[in-house]
Amino acid sequence: MRYSGFRVIKEALTGHKGWLPAWRDPDPQPDYDIVIIGGGGHGLATAHYLAKVYGQARVAVLEKGWIGGGNVGRNTTIIRSNYMLDGNEPFYEFSLKLWEGLEQDLNYNAMVSQRGIINLIHSDAQRDAFIRRGNAMMLNGADAEYLDEAAVRREYPFLDFDNARFPIKGGLAQRRGGTVRHDAVAWGYARAADSRGVDIIQNCEVTGFRIEDGRCTGVETSRGCIGAGKVGCAVAGNSSRLMAMAGMRLPIESHVLQAFVSEGLKPVLPGVITFGAGHFYVSQSDKGGLVFGGDIDGYNSYAQRGNLPVVEDVCEGGMALMPMIGRARLLRMWGGIMDMSMDGSPIIDRTHIDGLYFNGGWCYGGFKATPASGYAFAHLLATDTPHEIATAYRLDRFRTGHMIDEKGMGNQPNLH
Ligand SMILES: Cc1cc2nc3c(=O)[nH]c(=O)nc-3n(C[C@H](O)[C@H](O)[C@H](O)COP(=O)(O)OP(=O)(O)OC[C@H]3O[C@@H](n4cnc5c(N)ncnc54)[C@H](O)[C@@H]3O)c2cc1C
């Protein structure tokens, strides 16, 4: 079924009786050519591009819970491509271009909104660093715009420009950045993949790998064994737990990240704002809630909930940036598990086990990467060669020292 304005009108006039389920609910087959573990954004996008671009017909996505129950439905919905390093920027710019055509590609309203993002500048040294980053972005074909203080004041007059500790001196804007409704991304990819024959199997937890003579030939699941020509792992915060079942120890730690939404307010924020002197980012959803977040909780955890010290820290950041936020009431908060890699950059690579492929280490930036990650992982699974925009995301870079350390923090996963 194609979605269209015409279809909406027709259904409205006929009592909404013609809508079909967005995807099937199949039982697992005994085997597939490719099995993807993890029905988050990355797993579902991989399945979509495998079917659509690489013509793979016998593909299954195994999800232990429900589609959209992981980080893809828990994030703060921000998309952007404002990275500096060569290993990263072309990848994220490719992703942003895929976002720009996503709704047409999937025939699904994911509410892609290029409302712009601004990273605020609070010191002269930070201005130099941000201008350098903007130049690197433009060299890679992305858009970047330096705004002086007066320009920021015109666009965001409510910010606390004269804050004694964190005065606002300008900003680096990316007008093509913005937000996308996160769970619609999972649903849109699921529906598109399903329509091309991909089996999306929910409530199916992978509990082990079948490895024979150094080759992965399938997976053990809560719904029985499933054979596979190739197995792709895309389970984000559960990466280390899953890969441990194949005997692998990853350069990844799992940490909690929280997000918050206020009560619905009249439109006040035109775009996404990030605080440059602390960890705080905020946008306004189409329902009116201020959606915001900050840093990870800072300790290893697999629990999808956080603790109060970070709530205080995030709220302090919001108050330092725009004191009016103190008048808004908090509606909800929640947590997700981040797969924090040692250099803050992801991994899309084969493993040392034949037929076993890994996608992870997204830290808290993996939502914006969803389309490119799916595309590059599908390319790797289908062709056994890395996609040209993801050649730097090798698993062995932690052994060879070819880090992609965007923040220059060193091997401190909780600081990236
Ligand atoms: C609070 C918060 C805010 C964030 N904000 C942003 C943001 O603004 N911008 C941005 O770019 N990124 C953001 N992120 C990060 C982003 O959401 C993640 O990096 C990204 O969604 C991870 O990829 P995914 O969608 O595939 O993960 P998930 O949706 O977590 O998918 C992984 C799936 O694997 C399943 N799974 C795990 N183990 C198994 C198993 N053994 N068998 C079967 N299935 C299994 C899980 O149930 C889960 O559904 C944020 C994350 C959080 C939590």
pLDDT at position 415 is 82
pLDDT at 411: 84
From the list 87, 33, 31, the residue with the least C-alpha distance to 225 is 31
Q: Which helix (H) or strand (E) holds 120?
A: strand 117-121
Q: What would be the CATH architecture of the domain defined by 114-176+253-341? A: 2-Layer Sandwich (3.30)
d(CA 386, CA 130): 30
* % the chain with pLDDT above 90: 97
The ranges of the chain annotated as CATH 3.50.50.60 are 26-77+182-251+343-415
Question: How far apart, in whole angstroms, are the C-alpha atoms of residue 340 and residue 122?
Answer: 27
**Tokens of residue 158, six digits:** 């409510």
Question: For position 288, what pLDDT does the model report?
Answer: 97
Instruction: Read off the tokens for 208.
Output: 């082990």
Quick one: average pLDDT of 81-87? 96
The HSE-up count of residue 396 (CA atoms within 13 Å, CB side) is 5
pLDDT at 416 over 90: no
- Give the nearest ligand 1 atom to 258 CA: 1
Asked if residue 38 has its Cβ within 6 Å of ligand 1, the reply is yes
Mean pLDDT, range 25-50, rounded to an integer: 98
Residues of the chain with pLDDT > 70: what percent?
100
User: How do beta strands 347-350 and 356-360 pair?
Assistant: antiparallel
pLDDT at res. 107: 98
pLDDT band (50, 70, 90) for residue 140: very high
Say if CB 289 and CB 265 are below 8 A apart.
yes
Cβ(374) to ligand 1 under 6 A?
A: no
> Which residue, 311, 309, 332, 341, is CA-closest to 237?
341
For the stretch 203-247, pLDDT in tens is: 999 999 999 999 999 999 999 999 999 999 999 999 999 999 999
Residue 357: beta bridge partners?
Answer: 232, 350
- 166 alpha carbon – ligand 1 mean position (Å): 32
Q: What is the pLDDT of residue 304?
A: 92
**Ligand 1 lined by 281 (C-beta under 6 Å):** no
- Tokens 């981040």 label which residue? 338
Pairing state between β 281-284 and 272-274: antiparallel
pLDDT of residue 414: 81
DSSP 8-state assignment for residue 140: T
Domain limits, CATH 3.30.9.10, in the chain: 114-176+253-341
Is 90 exceeded by the pLDDT of residue 412? no
pLDDT band at 410 (very low <50, low <70, confident <90, very high): confident
Question: Which residue has the least CA distance to atom 32 on ligand 1?
Answer: 235
Distance (Å) of CA 367 to CA 60, 303, 307, 362, 363:
22, 19, 23, 8, 10
Q: Could you give the CA distance from residue 94 to residue 62 in angstroms, rounded to a whole number? A: 27
**Token digits of residue 157:** 């007059």
Q: What are phi and psi of 373, to 5 degrees?
A: -65, -45
pTM for this model (two decimals): 0.97
From CA 415, how far away is CA 11, in angstroms rounded? Answer: 50
pLDDT given for residue 367 in this prediction: 98
Within 8 A by CB and 6+ apart from 212, the residues are none
- Whether 153 contacts 161, CB under 8 Å: yes
- The beta-strand segments (E) located in 240-346 are 252-264, 272-274, 281-284, 289-300, 330-341
For the segment 381-401, the average pLDDT, to the nearest whole number, is 96
Instruction: Tell me how far CA of residue 295 lies from CA of 85, 129, 259, 299, in angstroms.
Output: 22, 21, 10, 11
The alpha carbon of 104 and the centre of ligand 1 are apart by a number of angstroms equal to 24
pLDDT-based confidence at 147, cuts 50/70/90?
A: very high
What length is written for the chain? 416
Distance from C-alpha of 275 to C-alpha of 325, rounded to nearest angstrom = 14
- State the average pLDDT for the chain: 96
- pLDDT reading at 371 higher than 90: yes
Return the structure tokens found at 305. 């909930």
**Nearest-atom index, ligand 1, CA of 339:** 19
Phi/psi for 253 (5° steps) reads -120, 150
What are the pLDDT digits (tens) for 263-315? 999 999 999 999 999 999 999 999 999 999 999 999 999 999 999 999 999 99
Question: Which of 4, 199, 189 minimizes the C-alpha distance to 99?
Answer: 189
Torsion of CA 382, 385, 391, 396, to 10 degrees: 110
413 has pLDDT over 90: no
Pocket test for ligand 1, best of 92, 358, 367, 377 (most atoms within 8 A of CB): 367
Task: Report how far apart the first and last C-alpha atoms of the chain are (Å, whole number).
Answer: 43
Architecture of domain 26-77+182-251+343-415: 3-Layer(bba) Sandwich (3.50)
